[in-house]
Amino acid sequence: MKQIRIKFNLGLLSLFALLAFSACMKMHMDPDVTARDIAEKIFSNPLPVPPVLDGKSAAFDAKSSTSMLSSGITVNSLGYAGAPILGATIRIEQGENFNLDFKNNLIEATNIHWHGLEVPAAQDGYPTDVIAPGGSFQYSFQVKNRPGTYWYHPHPDMATASQAYRGLAGFFIVGSAEESALGLPSGEFDVPLVVQDKRLDGGLTYAPSDNDRSIGLFGETVLVNGKPGAMFEVATRTYRFRLLNGSNARIYNFTLSSGATMELIGTDGGLLDAPVAINSVLLSPGERAEVLVNFGGLTVGDEVFLKSNAFAGSATQGKQDFKIMKFIVTRQEDDPFVQVSTLMPVEKIVESEAIAIRTFNIGHMMAHSGTTMSGMIHPLDGKFFDPNRRDEVVNANSVEIWEFDNTNGTETHPMHLHAGQFQVLSRTGGRGQLEAWEKGWKDTVLAFPGEKVRIIVRFPGNLGKYVFHCHNLEHEDGGMMLNYEIK
């Protein structure tokens, strides 16, 4: 196996930028800079469920609008497919060809990244492959991924955080005949939930401070499918909830207020090989989990909250318990769902297949004020994003082990690879173990300060240039993104 050691290298930075960066690195982050606390709302707004589009032949635009989030709260927002905020859920079967005629009706350039999907480089939404205002683009590719919960969002260089925060995101759900045969809850009992925090006192305007650019932008209000104080009526039966952390920076430790267990059935890259009973699931920005929740033991009128519990590991967030949304039982029904003991096989990539190991230092001290290189203050392995540079080169269909080393870091980093899925091998330091939701296919993995995470990747046969980056969107836009080329 070839051991590739990635050294700290500022590449082509000018002497001025180097001196500015060095000064910036000496500035320790103010320990008092922490995430905004969540202010819980009255949970009375019916949960919107996004409309569904057939991915085999779809057409929609991105445009600005105004969205009435609840009584007395109207904000300027961005949306897809005619929605004032967020977008329709795209559904398609594994193996089918996806086709989207996309129009940019914004006043700024944008594009779409198909998060977690294996797509050709020209279709992936590379940061500089943007569509000008008034322009259009035809997205077209075969869906090769396993059945699962994926999503789409914009990915323009240094504008991803702004556009996603103002509302551009949607689900991309892949199914198959094999999955359907499992008899999992479907139709109205298969519910996608995108959870995001926003600053509604700012009218959804994206205006991050220096502190926000350092630790990420945190809001005081939690929205679920674009609604604050969301409430969802349920029957006394089993539901499939597809959880997506669509926030810019906030991590959620999802649990039920009743203390009931959930059955974890899927991760970023689709179904697990068997259900796992869990009490909570910790998701960082970009991560997904599919859980089954059985309301069968409740009676009409009972209420259960989806909550986020406090968690350790981060100096800037995780210190607060708060409610996210409310489930209220409104009808008694027999539950036709029969619990399954097996789901879909997860083929393990064997470590001995790896032809190289690459180590990336993601643990540099960040500054919470001051900027270098036009706002780039978050390096990845000592470098800032440059679309003209080729940072790593990998062979198509080869297997490699990548290590994200946050051992000496002070920030939390969810690391995301474009082009496909990977598996998590190990975590040392910090939590020192893999979590239940990290044992399937993944495209985003969380590294707390003090942790080193190892992943194993089988690169697809799609040739071209992709990126990998921190999915804290302020970190990404602040330069924490590198290129890699599949050849």
Question: Do residues 146 and 205 share a domain?
Answer: no
DSSP character for 403? Answer: E
Q: Are 278 and 344 in contact (CB under 8 A)?
A: no
Question: How does strand 464-470 pair with strand 413-417?
Answer: antiparallel
Please tell me the distance from the alpha carbon of residue 391 to that of residue 360, in angstroms, as a whole number.
11
Take residue 179 and report the two structure tokens written for it. 């999955």
Sheet of 252-256, strands arranged across:
45-46, 230-235, 322-331, 303-308, 252-256, 280-283
Work out the number of other CB atoms within 10 angstroms of the CB of residue 190: 16
d(CA 469, CA 421) in angstroms, rounded, equals 14
Do 213 and 154 have their domain in common?
no
Please check whether residues 362 and 464 belong to one and the same domain.
yes
Task: Name 386's Cβ contacts closer than 8 Å, sequence gap at least 6.
Answer: 11, 12, 483
pLDDT of residue 364: 74
Global confidence as pTM:
0.93
Looking at the structure, do residues 366 and 452 belong to the same domain, yes or no? yes
DSSP state of 24: H
Handedness of CA 104, 62, 111, 378 (dihedral sign): positive
Q: Are 451 and 428 in contact (CB under 8 A)?
A: yes
* Same-domain status, 175 and 195: no
Contacts of 310 (CB under 8 A, 6+ apart): 253, 318, 319, 320, 321
Residue 267 lies in a domain: yes
CA distance 236 to 256: 16
Q: List CB contacts of 188: < 8 A, sequence separation 6 or more.
A: 49
Q: Using an 8 Å Cβ cutoff, are 485 and 393 in contact?
A: yes
Task: Yes or no: say if 44 and 229 are a contact pair by the CB < 8 Å rule.
Answer: yes
E strand segments, 131-209: 136-142, 148-153, 170-175, 190-198
Backbone angles phi, psi at 177, to 5 degrees: -65, -35
Quick one: pLDDT at residue 24?
A: 40
User: Do 161 and 222 reside in the same domain of the chain?
Assistant: no
How confident is the model at residue 1, as a pLDDT? 56
Same domain? 326 vs 199:
yes
Phi-psi region of 45 (alpha: psi -120 to 50; beta: other; left: phi over 0): beta
Cα–Cα nearest to 18, from 372, 312, 340: 372
CATH of residue 75's domain is: 2.60.40.420
Please count the structural domains in the chain. Answer: 3
Domain hosting residue 220, numbered range: 187-331
Are 300 and 400 contained in the same domain? no
Instruction: pLDDT tens for the chain, 487 residues: list them.
Output: 544 443 333 333 333 343 334 334 433 345 468 999 999 999 999 999 999 999 999 999 999 999 999 988 999 999 999 999 999 999 999 999 999 999 999 999 999 999 999 999 999 999 999 999 999 999 999 999 999 999 999 999 999 999 999 999 999 999 999 999 999 999 999 999 999 999 998 899 999 999 999 999 999 999 999 999 999 999 999 999 999 999 999 999 999 999 999 999 999 999 999 999 999 999 999 999 999 999 999 999 999 999 999 999 999 999 999 999 999 999 999 999 999 999 999 999 999 999 999 999 999 754 444 444 457 899 999 999 999 999 999 999 999 999 999 999 999 999 999 999 999 999 999 999 999 999 999 999 999 999 999 999 999 999 999 999 999 999 999 999 999 999 9
Residue 393's DSSP bridge partners are 485
Using CA atoms, how far apart are residues 306 and 149, in angstroms rounded to an integer?
19
Bridge-based pairing state of the strands 252-256 and 227-228? unpaired
- Which pLDDT score, from 0 to 100, does residue 15 have? 33
In a domain, 336, yes or no: no
> Is residue 306 located within the same domain as residue 400?
no
Statement to judge: residues 147 and 197 lie in one domain = no
Q: Specify if 341 maps to a domain.
A: no
Check whether residue 104 and residue 27 sit in a common domain: no
Answer yes or no: is 428 within a domain.
Answer: yes
Residue 340 belongs to some domain of the structure: no
**Calpha distance 86→50 (Å, rounded):** 8
List 77's β-bridge partners, or say none.
65
Distance CA 206, CA 209 (A): 10
Tokens of 427: 């975590």
In a domain, 27, yes or no: yes
Question: Where is the domain boundary, 303, 331, 359?
Answer: 331
What local confidence, expressed as pLDDT, does residue 365 receive? 55
Q: By the 8 A CB rule, do 44 and 230 touch?
A: no
Two tokens at 318? Answer: 């995780």
Kindly state whether residue 37 falls inside one of the protein's structural domains: no
Supply φ then ψ for residue 39, to 5 degrees. Answer: -100, 110
Question: ∠ CA(462), CA(465), CA(471), 5° rounding?
Answer: 105
Instruction: Count CA atoms within 13 Å of residue 445 on its CB side.
Output: 33
Is 38 part of a structural domain of the chain? no
DSSP 37: P
Report helix, strand or coil for 7.
coil
Last residue of a domain, one of 331, 361, 382: 331
Q: How far, in Å, CA of 48 to CA of 31, rounded?
A: 38
Are 287 and 318 in the same domain? yes
pLDDT for the residue numbered 358: 98
Contact (Cβ atoms closer than 8 angstroms) between residue 219 and residue 35: no
Instruction: Give the end of a domain, one of 331, 358, 385.
Output: 331
- Cα–Cα distances in Å, from 2 out to 355, 402, 468, 482? 6, 12, 21, 21
